[in-house]
Amino acid sequence: MNLTLKIWRQAGPDDKGRMVTYQVKNVNPDMSFLEMLDVLNEDLIAKGEDPVAFDHDCREGICGMCSLYINGEAHGPGRGITTCQLHMRSFKDGDTIIIEPWRAKAFPVIKDLVTDRSAFDRIIQAGGYISVNTSGNTIDANAIPIPKENADKAFDAATCIGCGACVATCKNSSAMLFVSAKVSQLALLPQGRVEAKERVLKMVHQMDLEGFGNCTNTGACEVECPKGISLENIARMNREYLAAVIS
Amino acid sequence: MEVKSALLGSSIVKKYWMALTGLFLCTFLVVHLGGNLILLKGEDARLSFNAYAKFMTTFPLIKAVSYLLYFSILFHAFDGIVLTLQNRAARPVKYYFNKPEANSTWASRNMAFLGTVILIFIVGHMSNFWYKMHFGDIPMDANGNKDLYEVVVTFFKDPSLGIVYVAFYVLCMVALGFHLVHGFASSFQTLGLYHKKYNALIKNLGLVFSVLVPLLFAIIPIFIYIQ
Ligand code: HEM
Ligand code: SF4
Ligand code: FES
């Protein structure tokens, strides 16, 4: 298949940036979206042009690096997938595909399609952990009884890969889905309860400092999240937060 | 530590106030609608509507609640505008091409616009009726109560502008309906009340509320106009 690509090009953080149109030929429908971009880049390198910078690592939907806004949706069309899991058979021969970086004040563009998502790291550093050494003194998994339902919900929350699609897709650039998943995965388990109150206050405080917007409950994040993180986590974080503030 | 700043500035607390004031305004809508529905009795409603209006403006407990209500409307609007401005600032560079309709409803994305329409409506509505009732020089009815009924009927039956007022009123009720179709259920989510057993119930209750309440409000000026 032959495609027209409109890609955001930006030489560096201070460059103004612009959309640039490219043609790619002989794309195999079984290629992943990132492989299609590899083909484009090989072509650009052969022509002596600057290849398009984009983030990627695992290419199997687990690292959360491949942050691309494709045809107006985070990770493109399709649900429950990252960009590396999107295949070219989702498009038609002759299509025009628009590719942009995540847009949020808290995720500034570094180059082309690559954004700086270290705001997420700072939120985790603010409290997204438990303060005991967990390496070298492994405790038997069944030593602390945990209701199956809580274990399942904590695990579901823990599947968040920190990709930032929730922020990118939210009209308010709100990070509530990500932060609530990280709050929930610990708040649901006895090991995490010990520091739950401080944790939620600190993580939300950091989230606000980073310049993310406020949640309006549009639900767009839940729809676009590649891991199906539920809005239930946001409701849980709101409860946790209120309890922490008033107690 | 951050608790004090949390109460004042945190994103989540701002949303809690939004939800609490929003739900309080919803209960006010029901009470207000109850009174207005008396008007559907036509000319027979004159004395009972005026007596009701007098009760609502003089009974001490209701007066106290009405101050809370004025404050809630102002605070809800102020908080909503602050949140919306912060949300705009959180995305300084917009997408070249975006497809928000793929993952969210129109109402949920336009709460500030819908709220602004409602605010304009409330200001006009209060200067037309509330201000006249409280401070205006209006005639008395047979029972010696201020004849608010007369004020309302002359307003909507105005030979030249009556139809404009009715149309504006109806349009604003449509905006209120859209504000509520997202807002009602949204406030439960904000307050942390999410449960898979009750989510559908809350959503459906919100849908019924946001259709029924604005619809009944809108019927009244239409009824007065064609009567
Ligand atoms: C009778 C009038 C009104 C009622 C019953 C009402 C009700 C509500 C409710 C229940 C919510 C949901 C809160 C949440 O998501 O937690 C809401 C949100 C909102 N309202 Fe109102 N509202 C009214 C008037 C207004 C006015 C006058 C404004 C003025 C600007 C306004 C602006 C907003 C905004 C911007 C939101 C979204 C806030 C957010 O989710 O971040 N509303 N409203
Ligand atoms: S909540 Fe979903 S969309 Fe947001 S960072 Fe985690 S995996 Fe990505
Ligand atoms: S490259 Fe790791 S999730 Fe896509």
Do residue A168 and residue A60 come from a single domain?
Answer: no
Q: Which domain holds residue B200?
A: 11-91+105-226
Give yes or no for a contact between B155 and B165, defined as CB atoms under 8 angstroms apart.
yes
Domain presence at residue B6: no
Q: Flag whether pLDDT at B1 surpasses 50.
A: no
Do residue A129 and residue A214 come from a single domain?
Answer: yes
Do residue A145 and residue A184 come from a single domain?
Answer: yes
Q: What integer pLDDT is reported at residue B5 of this predicted model?
A: 54
Q: What is the CATH number of the domain that holds B127?
A: 1.20.1300.10
Query: Other CB atoms closer than 10 Å to residue A96's CB: what's the count?
Result: 12
Which residues from chain B sit within 8 angstroms of residue A200, using beta carbons? Answer: none
Q: Is residue A59 lining ligand 3, measured as CB closer than 6 Å?
A: yes
Domain end residue (candidates: A110, A126, A156):
A110
User: Is A217 part of the contact surface with chain B (CB cutoff 8 Å)?
Assistant: yes
Which of B12, B83, B182 lies closest to A238 in CB terms? B12
Q: CB under 8 Å to A34, separation ≥6 — which residues?
A: A54, A56, A59, A66, A83, A84
Q: Which residue of A has its CA nearest to B107?
A: A218
Q: Flag whether pLDDT at B139 surpasses 50.
A: yes
Q: 147-176 in A: which are within 8 Å (CB) of B? A: 169, 171-174
Do residue A146 and residue A128 come from a single domain?
Answer: yes
Q: What is the CATH number of the domain that holds A169?
A: 1.10.1060.10
Question: What pTM, to 2 d.p., does this model score?
Answer: 0.95
User: Is B111 part of the contact surface with chain A (CB cutoff 8 Å)?
Assistant: yes
Do residue A99 and residue A127 come from a single domain?
Answer: no
Q: What integer pLDDT is reported at residue B172 of this predicted model?
A: 98
pLDDT, tens digit, 9 for 90 and up, residues B145-196: 999 999 999 999 999 999 999 999 999 999 999 999 999 999 999 999 999 9
ipTM over 0.90: yes
pLDDT, tens digit, 9 for 90 and up, residues B12-60: 999 999 999 999 999 999 999 999 999 999 999 999 999 999 999 999 9
Whether B12 sits inside 8 A of A72 (CB atoms) is: no
Which of A98, A205, A214 lies closest to B97 in CB terms? A98
Q: Flag whether pLDDT at B6 surpasses 60.
A: no
Residue A127 CA: distances (Å) to CA of A56, A179, A204, B45: 27, 11, 10, 62
Do residue A129 and residue A100 come from a single domain?
Answer: no
Q: Flag whether pLDDT at B4 surpasses 70.
A: no
Whether A235 sits inside 8 A of B93 (CB atoms) is: no
Q: Which domain holds residue A193?
A: 117-246
What is the average pLDDT across B107-120?
Answer: 98
**Side chain identity, residue A141:** A
Q: What is the CATH number of the domain that holds A74?
A: 3.10.20.30
Q: Which residue of B has its CA nearest to A77?
A: B102
Do residue A136 and residue A242 come from a single domain?
Answer: yes
For residue A161, give the ligand 3 atom closest to its CA: 3
Do residue A142 and residue A188 come from a single domain?
Answer: yes
Mind listing the pLDDT tens digit of every residue in chain A (247 residues)? 999 999 999 999 999 999 999 999 999 999 999 999 999 999 999 999 999 999 999 999 999 999 999 999 999 999 999 999 999 999 999 999 999 999 999 999 999 999 999 999 999 999 999 998 878 878 887 889 999 999 999 999 999 999 999 999 999 999 999 999 999 999 999 999 999 999 999 999 999 999 999 999 999 999 999 999 999 999 999 999 999 998 8
Ligand nearest to the CA of A34: 3
Query: Other CB atoms closer than 10 Å to residue B190's CB: what's the count?
Result: 26
For residue A84, give the ligand 3 atom closest to its CA: 4
Give the distance, in angstroms, between the CA of residue A163 and the centroid of all CA atoms in the same chain.
2
Do residue A100 and residue A150 come from a single domain?
Answer: no
Which residues are A96's β-sheet partners?
A: A4
Do residue A122 and residue A105 come from a single domain?
Answer: no
For residue A178, give the ligand 2 atom closest to its CA: 1
Give yes or no for a contact between A1 and A52, defined as CB atoms under 8 angstroms apart.
no
Residues B203, B114: Cα–Cα separation, whole Å? 19
Number of domains in chain B: 1
Whether B96 sits inside 8 A of A8 (CB atoms) is: yes
Q: What integer pLDDT is reported at residue A216 of this predicted model?
A: 97
Percent of chain B with pLDDT over 90: 93
Q: What integer pLDDT is reported at residue A138 of this predicted model?
A: 80
Which residues from chain A sit within 8 angstroms of residue B115, using beta carbons? Answer: none
Residue A228 distance to chain B (closest CA, Å): 13
